[in-house]
Structure formats: C-alpha cells, structure tokens
Chains A and B, each alone.
Chain A
C-alpha cells in the first residue's frame, strides 16, 4: 500500500477515534479505560493497515515451510496431516500407565507422552528416603529397565513416537528407551520421540534439577552428540517455555526466556565441538497455550520468526531444518479452576484452538479435573476428544495460517517479537541465560508477573469464571483419581527383587566406568546405556553422577 494511502487511513482512523471519544463514549462508555494483553501490550480499539505499515510480506512472513517460517514450518501444514495428538499421561506403576497408554492409543491418540514421578525426575529410586510419599504420584515410577519394559510392553516403538518429560536424568531414560527398542528388534536409528532434557528452565521455573549448570550442560551436549550419530530422528531437547508460563510469566517473557535458553544450548554445543547443522535440526520447543487467544496465536508466530533469524543470522546455520522452530503445545494448567471444573473443558478448547491457529506440531489438551488431582480416564478422554473436534469438525485446518494478514495478529506478532528481543538482549548483557538464571534475573521477572496476575484476579480486574464471578454457593462433589499407596510398597519390593537377581558384578563394573567417564571428558551416554542394559537403577546411575558432579543448590531468592 502506498504511503499516501496509509496516511489517509491513519488520518481517518484518528478522526474516527476523536469523534468516538468526544461524542459517543460519554453515553456508551467502554468496559475498561485501558485494554491490554497479558504481556501488557496495549490493545487498540481498531487495527487498520497503517498498524502494520512496515510489514514486508516476503521478509517478515514469507511462505509456509520457508524462512522465516512465520506462517508455519511445513508447506501444507494440517492439509497434509494433523498435529500429533499427544496426551501427557503417567501415574502409579508401569503396568497402570501402560494400560492408560494403550487406552489413549485405542481412542485415536497419535503419540505417547510420559509423565514420571518426582523421584524418577530427580534421580532417586523408589526406596530412597526422599521418595517417601511421592512414588507414582505425579507420574509413573521408573527405577530400572525392568520398569521401562513393562511401561512400553506391547507398544511398537518403530510406529509410535514417545515424548518423555525428563530432564536431569534424560540420558538414563533415553538409554532405557533405546534398550527396550533393541529388545523389540527396533534399532535406535528407527526410534522417534523427544526427551525434554531442558535443565535451564528447571532452575528457572520447574524445579527438578539435580546437578549444577556446567555438568548439566555437558550431559545435554553429550546427548546431542550421541543422538546425531545413533538416534537421528530423536528430538534431543524440548526447550520449554511451558513451565515458565505456568510459573507466572507473560507471553513475551515465555518467548524471550525460552529462546534465550535455546541460544545457551546452541552456544554450549558449538563450544563442545559440534557443528550447528548436525544437531540444530533436532532441537524442539514446547510452549503454553494460555487464555489470551490472539496474543497466543501471535506468540507462536513470533517465536518461529525470531528463532529462524537467530539460527540463520547469529549462528550461521545453513540447513533450513536448523532454522525451524518446531513445537509441542500444552494448554495452560494454571488457568484450570478447582471451582466448577467442567468449565475447564471450554477453557482448554479455546486454548487448544489458539495452538492450532498458531501452527503447533503436537498438542496436549488438559483434563478438566487437573486442579483437583491427576485426570480420571473419563476426563482424559474428553480432553483428547476436544482436540479431535478441532481437527475433524471445525475446518480451521483446511488452509495454512488462516489468521495471517489480520492487522491485529500481525501487529501483535511484531510487538511480541520486538519485546522478546529486548529481553533476550538484556539477558545477553547479564552474560547469557545461565549467568542470568544464577543471578535470579528471570526468576524475579516471572515472580513479579505471577504476583501481578494474582492481584488482578483479587481486584476483579481479571475475571475467572466460577472463581471471582459467577460462583456457585455449593460445588457438587466429584470422582477423582487416587494413586493407591500400595504402589510405593510394591515398587520397593520389585526393586529389592531386581537387585537380588541381576548380575551385580557387571553393575558394579559399569558404575565404576561411569564414574571415571564422568570425571573425564568422554561422552557419558554410551556408558549410561551399558549401565541401563545391565539393570543398574536410575538411582544408582544418578548417584554416581551426583558423587562426581555435586548437586545444584538453589538459593531461595525470595
């Protein structure tokens, strides 16, 4: 559009606004004096072409499947195939979780996503003192390869891809997965899936760290190196903004802190001697889908464009796959209410829709009862059906990036990119993501946003249906999922029996080798794989690494 035309539009909008403000608003006032997104971006009454006057279609948007991927990473997007429907599941024993996995697959889910209990995530076996009361609670308890064999029993690993939410002990769980694959006759080169393996956001927002930053980064780059050679289709990391948002950040902070972490991982891998195009195509991302609908759609688009620029311009990546930000999305757990929980179904549906309109590669839709407990089977089914309705009934999937070109969406996409970049530059000034986290910068930013959000709810500036408006005097009782306390006892018994029957000489030898490797600089993954195959337990392997690496001590920054 010519400058002359744009100026004319801007002028007529200005006059229109003035007229409204002087004549109409006194009689018909607007609901708020100021409208803004969750990231504090002011929302105007009306968006017109002049709001995106600087937008250059070729360089800023381009075509889907092409740099800078604003419109999507695949050329045909959901006309080709839908996103992977991947519901995060896991609780109790490996047997119970295996049953839930099979149920979800039977119901049309297209990939697995495994939740581990906290002891597993923090590298303790189920018989550890600190595991008491936590075994099987927020996910499945995995102590050894034996549990993993049970967990994946009857699931063909050459056909189903699996995402594992595991960070500090990611190398151990990946090794177990590889070992189960071998037993099924599936070579590691045919396996596909994801390990979360993103330690920086654990320090920042999620809390399941074990080791200090330096050895943690080594484990991560060892995995990058190992997988590039041996498990080429594996997503070696899922750089996660999800938990940053859950901890209370805004959308802009979510993008900024996540991509800053991404930069730190790429830097570390290059420093470890890897070639950027050898590992970058397997980096993946994980974002939150919150309730501010349009801001969320714009967030996904902005993140894609920004990452493409970072990889191409800053890191000089040549392979277009290295430029692509591929991501999984989960709807925002923090928006689920314990009050009138069935209403959560609607929240989840809108959030999921924003992820689809934002071009997600895979999606988890939360269950209505997750502010109360882990989901029941009935709730998990509704959650899966919710995304199936979007895919099969709404037809929003029939054209690529349908909201592109909306003055509002493009304006928000620009704003989010600009504001996220400001944060990334600030983090650079502090010495990069690792240093900034050590100084508590991101944590403080997140905490401030979280507190502000809560105060907005308490002052009724932000309405949560069923919580601060439209409340019910009495909530009906409902059935929730409970993890049987016998899980912990049985898991311990199983572990004791395993330690009796395995070849303990072999275990001791491989753990000794692991120790010397950890003390040196060699790649740790092959040794961990050997240890796992000999039925060394997760706690034993992480115990050796704890001995050599020490443990991260989080300062209480409050």
Chain B
C-alpha cells in the first residue's frame, strides 16, 4: 500500500459563476487519485477556510474569473494564517493577468495556473508540494 490520497478542496470564492474550470480540474484531480471536495459557487473566504478545516484538506484550489482575485485570494491566506493552518497548500486559477501573480504569491498562494494550463501541470505541482498521490 502506498501513501494516503491527497485531499483537495476546490473552491469558488466571491460571486463569480464560471465554474467550468473548477469542475474540470476537480474531475482531473479525482481521476488522478486525489480526494476532491468542490464547494459550489459563491463562497466567502470565511466559508472556504471553514470547509477546508472540516474536510481536513491539504490543498485548496481557488478559482476566480471575475477579476476579484486580488481581494479574495489574499483574504483566504489571511484567514488560514489566523487559524494557524498555513501549511495548507493554496493554488489558484482563472483569468488572472501575469502581472498580478507576484502579488498573489507574496500573499502566500503557491502557484497560479492561467488559461491554457494542462490539468497535468496542476496535478504534478500538487503532488510535488503536498506529498502523497
């Protein structure tokens, strides 16, 4: 028997309704052997962190296509810090301009996957950083 599967929360912060990408990545991670929980739409950062704790995940994937990422992603990071669970790996995806990426990484987001990224790149990244399969 190998390692335990990685548990991932795919979350949609804010009011954005575009969840094609979130669902595709959720499915891809699940097919890759990870245990995936999807929050559904319109989650506040508080709800996302609460779900992450309840579901005991090692990874949170934030998806945002509304342009509100610079507000929402750092807020999630701040709340994780407040809860002392900064060891959760956070990655993000969506319509995010390149020039915003350094700001989001400074806030603690480990990686940002922009449109056109193959799901395998995300899977490999999570495996390499979260430990597990």
Residues of B within 8 A of A132 (CB): 71
Residues of A within 8 A of B20 (CB): 246-248, 334, 450
Contact for B15 among A118, A247, A248, A464, CB less than 8 A: A118
Residues of B within 8 A of A53 (CB): none
Is there an interface contact between B98 and A202, defined as CB atoms closer than 8 Å? no
- Is residue A119 contacting chain B, with contact meaning CB distance below 8 A? yes
Indicate with 1 or 0, residue by residue over B101-126, a CB within 8 angstroms of chain A CB atoms. 00000000000001110111000000
- Is residue A480 contacting chain B, with contact meaning CB distance below 8 A? yes
Secondary structure type dominating chain B contacts: loop
Is there an interface contact between A134 and B66, defined as CB atoms closer than 8 Å? yes
- Is residue A137 contacting chain B, with contact meaning CB distance below 8 A? yes
The number of chain A residues with a CB under 8 A from chain B is 44
Q: How far is the CA of A451 from the CA of B20 in the complex (A)?
A: 9
Is there an interface contact between A555 and B17, defined as CB atoms closer than 8 Å? no
A-B contact count (CB 8 A): 103
Which A residues, 358 to 375, have Cβ-Cβ distances below 8 Å to chain B?
371-374
Secondary structure type dominating chain A contacts: loop
Given A130-B15, A134-B14, A373-B95, also A556-B24 (CB < 8 A): no
- Is residue A208 contacting chain B, with contact meaning CB distance below 8 A? yes
Given A206-B17, A480-B97, also A137-B66 (CB < 8 A): yes
Contact for A137 among B41, B42, B68, CB less than 8 A: B68
- Is residue B131 contacting chain A, with contact meaning CB distance below 8 A? no
Residues of B within 8 A of A138 (CB): 16, 66-67
Is there an interface contact between A137 and B116, defined as CB atoms closer than 8 Å? no
Is there an interface contact between B27 and A447, defined as CB atoms closer than 8 Å? yes
- Is residue A156 contacting chain B, with contact meaning CB distance below 8 A? no
> How distant is B59 from chain A, measured CB to nearest CB, in Å?
16
Given A133-B71, A555-B40, also A451-B95 (CB < 8 A): no
- Is residue A99 contacting chain B, with contact meaning CB distance below 8 A? no
Q: How far is the CA of A131 from the CA of B40 in the complex (A)?
A: 18
Residues of B within 8 A of A118 (CB): 14-17, 66
> How distant is B15 from chain A, measured CB to nearest CB, in Å?
4
- Is residue A74 contacting chain B, with contact meaning CB distance below 8 A? no
Q: How far is the CA of A454 from the CA of B119 in the complex (A)?
A: 8
Which A residues, 227 to 267, have Cβ-Cβ distances below 8 Å to chain B?
246-248
| Size range of the chain B interface in the assembly | 35 or more
Is there an interface contact between A202 and B17, defined as CB atoms closer than 8 Å? yes
> How distant is A466 from chain B, measured CB to nearest CB, in Å?
8
Closest B residue, CB atoms, query A443: B23
> How distant is B26 from chain A, measured CB to nearest CB, in Å?
5
Contact for A207 among B10, B41, B114, CB less than 8 A: B41
Is there an interface contact between A467 and B116, defined as CB atoms closer than 8 Å? yes
- Is residue A338 contacting chain B, with contact meaning CB distance below 8 A? yes
Is there an interface contact between A554 and B41, defined as CB atoms closer than 8 Å? yes
Closest B residue, CB atoms, query A459: B118
Is there an interface contact between A338 and B71, defined as CB atoms closer than 8 Å? no
Given A119-B15, A477-B98, also A337-B72 (CB < 8 A): no
Q: How far is the CA of A458 from the CA of B42 in the complex (A)?
A: 29
- Is residue B18 contacting chain A, with contact meaning CB distance below 8 A? yes
- Is residue A558 contacting chain B, with contact meaning CB distance below 8 A? yes
- Is residue A339 contacting chain B, with contact meaning CB distance below 8 A? yes
> How distant is A459 from chain B, measured CB to nearest CB, in Å?
10
Is there an interface contact between B40 and A372, defined as CB atoms closer than 8 Å? no
Is there an interface contact between B114 and A338, defined as CB atoms closer than 8 Å? yes
Is there an interface contact between A133 and B18, defined as CB atoms closer than 8 Å? no
Contact for A447 among B10, B23, B28, B66, CB less than 8 A: B23
Indicate with 1 or 0, residue by residue over B69-104, a CB within 8 angstroms of chain A CB atoms. 011100000000000000000000001011000000
- Is residue A63 contacting chain B, with contact meaning CB distance below 8 A? no
Q: How far is the CA of A447 from the CA of B25 in the complex (A)?
A: 11
Contact for B72 among A133, A372, A467, CB less than 8 A: A133
- Is residue A122 contacting chain B, with contact meaning CB distance below 8 A? yes
> How distant is B110 from chain A, measured CB to nearest CB, in Å?
20
Is there an interface contact between B116 and A337, defined as CB atoms closer than 8 Å? yes
Residues of A within 8 A of B40 (CB): 554-556, 558
- Is residue A55 contacting chain B, with contact meaning CB distance below 8 A? no
Is there an interface contact between A373 and B67, defined as CB atoms closer than 8 Å? yes
27 CB < 8 A contacts A-B: A118-B15, A118-B16, A118-B17, A118-B66, A122-B42, A133-B68, A133-B72, A134-B67, A137-B66, A137-B67, A202-B17, A206-B18, A207-B19, A208-B15, A246-B18, A247-B20, A373-B67, A373-B97, A454-B119, A458-B120, A467-B116, A477-B98, A554-B40, A556-B38, A558-B10, A558-B23, A558-B40
Interface residues of A (CB under 8 A from B): 118-119, 121-122, 124, 130-134, 137-138, 202, 206-208, 246-248, 334, 336-339, 371-374, 447, 450-451, 454, 457-458, 464, 467-468, 477, 480, 483, 554-556, 558
Interface residues of B (CB under 8 A from A): 10, 14-20, 23-24, 26-28, 36, 38-42, 44, 66-68, 70-72, 95, 97-98, 114-116, 118-120
| 5 smallest beta-carbon distances between A and B, as pairs | A207-B17, A133-B71, A556-B40, A118-B15, A133-B68
